[in-house]
Amino acid sequence: MGEARTKAALARAAAPLLSGAPRARREDAIRRAAALIRARSADILAANERDLERARAAGMSAPLQDRLLLDEARVCAIAASLDDIARQDDPLGRVVGGSTLESGLRIEKVTVPLGVVAIIYEARPNVTADAFALCVRSGNACVLKGGSAANDSCLAIVDACRAALAEAGIPADALQYVEDDAAHSQTAELLEATGLIDVLIPRGGASLIRACVEGAKVPVIETGTGNCHVYVHASADFERARAIVMNAKTQRVGVCNAAESLLVDRAVAPAFLPGMLSELAAAGVLLHCDEEALELARDLPAGSAVPATEEDWGTEYLALEMSVKVVEGVEEAVAHVNRYGTGHSEAIVADSYDACEAFLAGVDAAVVYANASTRFTDGGVFGLGAEIGISTQKLHARGPMGAAELTTTKYVVRGDGQVR
């Protein structure tokens, strides 16, 4: 039995003691973790500095270094997020249905923890604390595996969280941290830990997620890949459309809810696109245009617009790049989005009621928007507190996932001797 499997077994053994812990004790554990993270911030920052030194030596890119970096303010934000989660409504013990049958049997459907949740993520120290807190909030033991670049930072945070569990009277083994290895053999072990792990949630790049979904014998929730579109209908207010496109594409480019593709109705393309494309190009966006859009981009600085390939329609750039296509109307737009989208977040800009409703009903995605930026898809924005990920699959949970999405239900049936 390898390390990951051993740790999953420890989490499994601790799970009933966490799932059975009363609400107050689970909240206490989360609050104590926040307090310990604040108290140990010097140690956590020192650990993070060791990670950063290795990262700089290895030539890690500036955006990835920024994602890895912790400072006083970020450590405080991590602790504040835990306090927020401790204040959330309890997702456990909610009676979500029930009835009394003709036989007199009384049935209730009650929310209960999943059991053991495994989360595989990248070099983001804050995910460690959030994932721990959401799992404890929902009564789940957890097995975390972060990216190796954040190893020291994650271990320092895990130490604080495990100490907090013990202080609150919950076995520290309810939180396990598996260190990354070059061969990814630990990931492989987690994917096969049937009976020990109730759900595995990969958070990260498309290749990690694909590998988990295809290789796992344990249930997986697919998250995050976002090839998101903004569709500008002929009836759109141009000013509104421009603001939404600029925000969705450029406000933050490396995130899954950023727009990657712009669709524009043929009827308004000549009036709308030249200005829109020029604004995008001025913001440094490389435009992958279909033939008609390329023609309307002719006055742009050289190199701002290039012909789109078939591959572009399915590409999540996560960069200052965008594909641009002219469409006949809402029907073609919906068909294009459903063909090439990843089921994440899709937006229409239109004044036409019928066009909006047709798009909202026709597009098959976790979140569909009329006249708003795709950037709003986020557990915090949607009021879930922190999020464990954004599900782009349809089973169990779809869209931003908070603590409630880490629960299942159980039918509790009370009788007085009924038989069939």
> 321-327 and 399-401 as β-strands: parallel, antiparallel, unpaired?
unpaired
User: 50 or 394, CB closer to a second copy?
Assistant: 394
Nearest approach in angstroms of CB 174 to a second copy is: 15
User: 39 or 105, CB closer to a second copy?
Assistant: 105
H helices within 58-150, ranges in order?
62-68, 72-87, 125-137
Phi, psi at 405, each rounded to 5°: -75, -5
Place of tokens 């799992």: 135
Q: Could you tell me which of 75, 24, 19 has the C-alpha nearest to residue 45?
A: 75
Asked if 125 and 119 count as a contact pair (C-beta separation under 8 A), the reply is no
Place of tokens 């097995």: 143
User: 80 or 105, CB closer to a second copy?
Assistant: 105
Which residues, in sequence order, are bridge partners of residue 107?
99, 413
User: 276 or 366, CB closer to a second copy?
Assistant: 366
Nearest approach in angstroms of CB 148 to a second copy is: 28
Nearest approach in angstroms of CB 187 to a second copy is: 17
Distance of alpha carbon 375 from alpha carbon 116, whole angstroms: 31
User: 79 or 397, CB closer to a second copy?
Assistant: 397
User: 226 or 399, CB closer to a second copy?
Assistant: 399
Nearest approach in angstroms of CB 398 to a second copy is: 5
Asked if 249 and 285 count as a contact pair (C-beta separation under 8 A), the reply is yes
* 3-class secondary structure, 29: helix
User: 56 or 210, CB closer to a second copy?
Assistant: 210
Helix (H) or strand (E) holding 259: strand 259-265
Nearest approach in angstroms of CB 417 to a second copy is: 4
Asked if 155 and 47 count as a contact pair (C-beta separation under 8 A), the reply is yes
Nearest approach in angstroms of CB 345 to a second copy is: 9
How far are the Cα atoms of 114, 224, 276, 390 from residue 272, in angstroms, in the given order?
Answer: 50, 31, 6, 32
Helix (H) or strand (E) holding 356: helix 353-362
* 3-class secondary structure, 102: coil
Nearest approach in angstroms of CB 413 to a second copy is: 5
Nearest approach in angstroms of CB 416 to a second copy is: 6
For residue 352, count other CB atoms closer than 10 A to its CB: 15
User: 238 or 295, CB closer to a second copy?
Assistant: 238
Contacts of 308 (CB under 8 A, 6+ apart): 288, 289, 290, 323, 324, 325
Place of tokens 């053991």: 116
Nearest approach in angstroms of CB 183 to a second copy is: 23
Distance of alpha carbon 294 from alpha carbon 386, whole angstroms: 41
Nearest approach in angstroms of CB 353 to a second copy is: 11
User: 158 or 365, CB closer to a second copy?
Assistant: 365
Instruction: State the residues that interact with a second copy by CB under 8 A.
Output: 16, 20, 99, 101, 103, 105, 107, 109, 112, 114-115, 194, 198-199, 213-214, 217, 219, 221, 237, 240, 243-244, 246-248, 251, 338, 356, 360-362, 364-373, 375-377, 381-383, 393-396, 398-399, 408-420
Place of tokens 């829109």: 276
